[in-house]
Amino acid sequence: MDTIASVRIETEQGPKTLSVVCCDIRELDKPLDVMTVSAFRHGYYPTLNTMIGALDSKGISVRQLGIAPALDLRDACNVWLSKEVTAGDLPIRRIGCVEMIDLSRHQRDRRNDNSFLNTIKAYFHLLDLAVDTGIEVKTLGLSALGTGNQGISDSLIFTPILNECVRFLQRNECIREIIIIERDGRKASDLAKKLESSYSLMSSGAGEKPADLEDHELPLAFISYSSKDRNVADNLCAKLERNGIRVWYAPRNVDMPDYASAIVRAIRRCSLFVVVLSQNSLASDHVLSEIDLAFQRSKSGLRFFPLKLDNKEMGDAFLYYLSRQHWMDATLPPLEKRLDEFVEKIKKEIGE
């Protein structure tokens, strides 16, 4: 196996590893407690040039393993974990399956909704449950879930996969190593670049909870932006604070040597997430990672306020998080007036 990227993750249980390797699963030479594959809903046919097909060619039938799995959450979450593999000649103990898309006549195509993140999260919680019931999961393998015949965009799925891998490594005492296995050299290279560029924003103290804020300190806004838009972000920060809205703003408020941890802690504390959208930020993995971290908190009350500076079309990954958000259009000059209107919009909405 050709390891093309690897990061060491410090956790309360000690250092762990997340790697990307370029390898055909049929040439796997490293023992895995669980190998994860993706499938259409109940679609385990060993199609040529798929992970399920490659496993079948080595004597491991995902279809047979799915008949009576060890843990089955398909009805609720579209995920399952097999019993121990007793056939085949690959060093794989169990198969985990994530059913990403339902294409039955009674279900609409789910490629474009926001269910993928929940399905991926559910799979890692299934692995937590497996460990709690005595199933050993020290080494975990994953494919680039859903990016083959299911047609999910690489840019849409890579960040959620990497972030959930990090969170699982941080919280689960059993897991020691996760390996993302991709035979396509381009996908493997893109995954490696994504891992190396965005991991710093995903690293944080394991198990740390958001800090509580006193009532008089709320609301607290976090501004996410590209450094190339620093002048606009500086101006926006000043306007928010002049209007009584407290702002956590990097690099101004970074008071610790670990810049990444400061970002993560700030997003955990904020109640408003302001993101400046432009051709610069839409090309930034760091901004995307900040949006992902904020998205995790949206169910606990974090409110999004996107500001669009130009007409650059958002890619799949940004649409995934922001398509249902109402953003303010600041493309029409003068920008100064648009920023004032944006701040007034925030004031009005948080005051309701």
| Residue 210, preceding peptide bond in cis (omega within 30° of 0) | no
Give pLDDT, residue 209: 37
DSSP secondary structure letter of residue 174? S
**Percent above pLDDT 70 for the chain:** 88
Residue 222 contacts residue 273 (beta carbons within 8 Å): yes
Which tops the pLDDT comparison, 287 or 195? 287
Confidence of residue 218 (pLDDT cuts 50, 70, 90): low
User: Crossing angle for the helix pair 259-269 and 285-296, nearest 10 degrees?
Assistant: 40
The string of pLDDT tens digits covering residues 276-303 is 999 999 999 889 999 999 998 888 889 9
Tell me which residue has tokens 């109640």: 271
* Selection from 71, 118, 98, 68 nearest residue 320 by Cα: 118
Confidence of residue 2 (pLDDT cuts 50, 70, 90): confident
Give pLDDT, residue 214: 45
Q: Which of 79-93, 133-147, 187-201, 232-246 has the lowest mean pLDDT?
A: 187-201
* Average pLDDT across the chain, whole number: 86
Give pLDDT, residue 112: 44
* In the predicted structure, residue 114 carries a pLDDT above the cut 60: no
Token pair belonging to 10? 């410090």
Q: Which of 127-131, 315-319, 327-331 has the lowest mean pLDDT?
A: 315-319
Mean pLDDT computed over 174-189 = 93
For residues 288 and 223, what is the distance between their CA atoms, to the nearest angstrom? Answer: 13
* In the predicted structure, residue 177 carries a pLDDT above the cut 90: yes
Which tops the pLDDT comparison, 213 or 62? 62
* Selection from 114, 22, 98 nearest residue 62 by Cα: 98
Between β-strands 246-248 and 220-224, what pairing exists: parallel, antiparallel or unpaired? Answer: parallel
The string of pLDDT tens digits covering residues 116-150 is 678 888 999 999 999 999 999 999 999 988 888 88
Give pLDDT, residue 104: 58
Token pair belonging to 140? 């975990």
CATH 3.30.70.2740 assigned to 2-202: no
* In the predicted structure, residue 73 carries a pLDDT above the cut 70: yes
Residues facing residue 248 across a β-bridge: 222
* In the predicted structure, residue 174 carries a pLDDT above the cut 70: yes
**Percent above pLDDT 90 for the chain:** 52
Mean pLDDT computed over 82-86 = 96
* In the predicted structure, residue 205 carries a pLDDT above the cut 50: no
Give pLDDT, residue 251: 86
**Domain ranges, ordered by start, for the chain:** 2-202, 215-351
* In the predicted structure, residue 197 carries a pLDDT above the cut 80: no
Long-range CB contacts (< 8 A, 24+ apart) of 253-261?
Answer: 259/200, 260/200, 260/201, 260/202, 260/203, 260/204, 261/203, 261/204, 261/205
Residue 6 contacts residue 19 (beta carbons within 8 Å): yes
Residue 316 contacts residue 155 (beta carbons within 8 Å): yes
For residues 12 and 261, what is the distance between their CA atoms, to the nearest angstrom? Answer: 15
For residues 176 and 138, what is the distance between their CA atoms, to the nearest angstrom? Answer: 5
SS3 12: coil
Residue 295 contacts residue 324 (beta carbons within 8 Å): no
CATH 3.40.50.10140 assigned to 215-351: yes
Confidence of residue 213 (pLDDT cuts 50, 70, 90): very low
The string of pLDDT tens digits covering residues 12-60 is 899 999 999 999 999 999 999 999 999 988 889 988 889 999 999 999 9
* Selection from 26, 10, 28 nearest residue 18 by Cα: 10
Give pLDDT, residue 208: 38
Give pLDDT, residue 115: 66
Give pLDDT, residue 95: 98
Residue 20 contacts residue 47 (beta carbons within 8 Å): no
Residue 41 contacts residue 104 (beta carbons within 8 Å): yes
Q: Show the DSSP H helices in 203-332 as ranges.
A: 230-242, 259-269, 285-296, 316-322
In this structure, what are the phi and psi dihedrals at residue 250, rounded to the nearest 5 degrees?
A: -90, 145
* In the predicted structure, residue 203 carries a pLDDT above the cut 60: no
Residue 292 contacts residue 163 (beta carbons within 8 Å): yes
* Selection from 119, 154, 189 nearest residue 316 by Cα: 154
Mean pLDDT computed over 168-182 = 95
Phi-psi region for residue 305, left (φ > 0), alpha (ψ -120 to 50) or beta? Answer: beta
